[in-house]
């Protein structure tokens, strides 16, 4: 009898999230604690249908330029944290970044994502000149920044210079866990940055890691509820993958299944968002990104960082594509997307929310 009740409760929750795009924290927690293999299959199917209703079968590509692995922060999970003395540091010059953009543009990319550690050599002035130069050469591209925490005035000036989008994961919605993992950062600062970016008019990407040490189903439910309320344009979700040169090197990482469930729930709860099939998922499993595309993701961010420095941008170990060249990644990804049954879209790929704003 009891088992019948549980089955019908889970079934009702899956129907509810599919029909209404909403679940309470308690409902999400219950689902995560009791989910079965069969439930997951239903969830992935509903997430796929929801993605198709909002975005069709298109998968948007972004060229990712990892331009510096120098970082002033000391996040306990991250391979390029300030206290990792073993990582060989690099910083691309603005000219080198422009060369990456030229190469990326030739390969067809119309979004450039500039990501780095928190490297203060890159001052506001340097960023402004760089963004203006990219904007001048490629008026139609989307310029996405993922450079960590700066002052709201700086975000404002970078936006005015021509940046369109900003990726900043909230990392975890548990304040306690956030502060344990980020000895040099504050939970409230991160949230304030995200709100400021949104208010300034950026298309904003938030997101979190799955399988962090000590993270509970209730914490993950909070991550999804935060995203539902904040309503970002983009949502990055990846498994935590331990890096041996960090304090969390001996911990267990996040799993493929748990991450896919969170991707699917994010699609169902925030149906108009853009959700990347992350490189971390592709690292965990050779089919990880394809499975994410089948569970609601609709963006892939192939790396266009020069091959000479790629391996040094090692946030976690065994990161894929370390020896590849930008053109390898471009066509490898296209083949994978097509083999998974989807269509590559090389346009800017703005979010539905942004288009209707």
Buried b (16+ CB within 10 A) or exposed e, 46-68: bbbebbeeebeebbbbbbbbbbb
**Between 68 and 107, how does the x/- string for binding to ligand SAH read (CB under 6 A)?**
---------xx-----------------------------
Q: How far is the CB of 62 from ligand SAH (least distance, A)?
A: 13
Q: Among 141, 168, 227, 277, which residue interacts with ligand SAH (rule: CB under 6 A)? A: 168
- For the chain, the residue count is 357
State yes or no: residue 316 binds ligand SAH (CB under 6 A): yes
Residue list 184-223, contact with ligand SAH (CB under 6 A): 209
Residues 60, 298: Cα–Cα separation, whole Å: 6
Q: Which of 79, 60, 68 is nearest to 305 (CA)?
A: 68
Q: Classify residue 171 as left (phi > 0), alpha (psi -120 to 50) or beta.
A: left
Name the DSSP letter for residue 9. H
Q: How far is the CB of 35 from ligand SAH (least distance, A)?
A: 22
Q: How far is the CB of 327 from ligand SAH (least distance, A)?
A: 24
Q: Which of 22, 51, 18 is nearest to 293 (CA)?
A: 51
Which range in 54-62, 222-230, 236-244, 331-339 contacts ligand SAH by CB under 6 A?
236-244
Residues 274, 71: Cα–Cα separation, whole Å: 27
Q: Among 13, 234, 280, 284, which residue interacts with ligand SAH (rule: CB under 6 A)? A: 280
C-alpha dihedral (245, 318, 171, 196), degrees to nearest 10:
100
Instruction: Give 219's contacts (C-beta < 8 A, 6+ positions apart).
Output: 172, 173, 174, 177
Which range in 51-59, 102-110, 166-174, 288-296 contacts ligand SAH by CB under 6 A?
166-174
**Between 119 and 158, how does the x/- string for binding to ligand SAH read (CB under 6 A)?**
---------------------------x-x----------
Interface residue list for ligand SAH (CB under 6 A)? 77-78, 115, 117-118, 146, 148, 168-169, 171, 209, 238, 240-241, 243, 280, 315-316
């Amino acid at each position: 009898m009891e088992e019948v009740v549980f089955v019908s409760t889970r079934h009702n929750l899956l129907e509810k999230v599919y029909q209404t795009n909403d679940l309470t924290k308690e409902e999400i927690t219950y689902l995560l604690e009791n989910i079965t293999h069969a439930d997951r299959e239903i969830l992935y199917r509903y997430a796929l249908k929801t993605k198709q209703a909002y975005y069709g079968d298109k998968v948007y590509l972004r060229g990712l330029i990892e331009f510096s692995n120098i970082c002033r922060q000391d996040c306990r999970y991250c391979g390029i944290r300030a206290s990792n003395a073993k990582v060989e540091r690099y910083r691309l010059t603005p000219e080198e970044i422009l060369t990456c953009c030229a190469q990326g543009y030739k390969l067809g990319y119309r979004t450039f994502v500039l990501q780095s550690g928190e490297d203060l050599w890159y001052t506001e002035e340097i960023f402004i000149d760089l963004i203006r130069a990219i904007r001048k050469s490629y008026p139609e591209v989307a310029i996405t920044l993922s450079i960590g925490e700066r002052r709201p005035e700086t975000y404002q000036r970078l936006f005015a210079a021509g940046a369109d989008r900003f990726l900043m994961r909230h990392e975890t919605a548990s304040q306690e866990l956030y502060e344990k993992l980020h000895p040099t950062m504050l939970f409230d600062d991160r949230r304030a940055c995200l709100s400021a970016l949104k208010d300034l008019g950026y298309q904003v990407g938030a997101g979190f890691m799955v399988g962090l040490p000590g993270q509970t189903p209730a914490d993950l439910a909070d991550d999804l509820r935060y995203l539902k309320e904040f309503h970002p344009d983009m949502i990055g979700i990846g498994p935590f993958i331990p890096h041996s040169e960090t304090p969390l090197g001996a911990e267990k990482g996040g799993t493929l299944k748990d991450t896919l469930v969170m991707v699917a729930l994010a699609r169902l709860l925030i149906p108009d968002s853009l959700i990347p099939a992350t490189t971390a998922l592709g690292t965990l499993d050779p089919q990880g990104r394809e499975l994410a595309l089948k569970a609601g993701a609709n963006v892939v961010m192939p790396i266009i960082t020069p091959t000479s420095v790629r391996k040094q941008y090692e946030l976690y170990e065994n990161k894929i594509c370390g020896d590849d060249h930008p053109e390898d990644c471009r066509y490898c990804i296209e083949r994978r997307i097509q083999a998974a049954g989807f269509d590559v879209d090389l346009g800017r790929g703005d979010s539905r929310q942004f288009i209707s704003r």
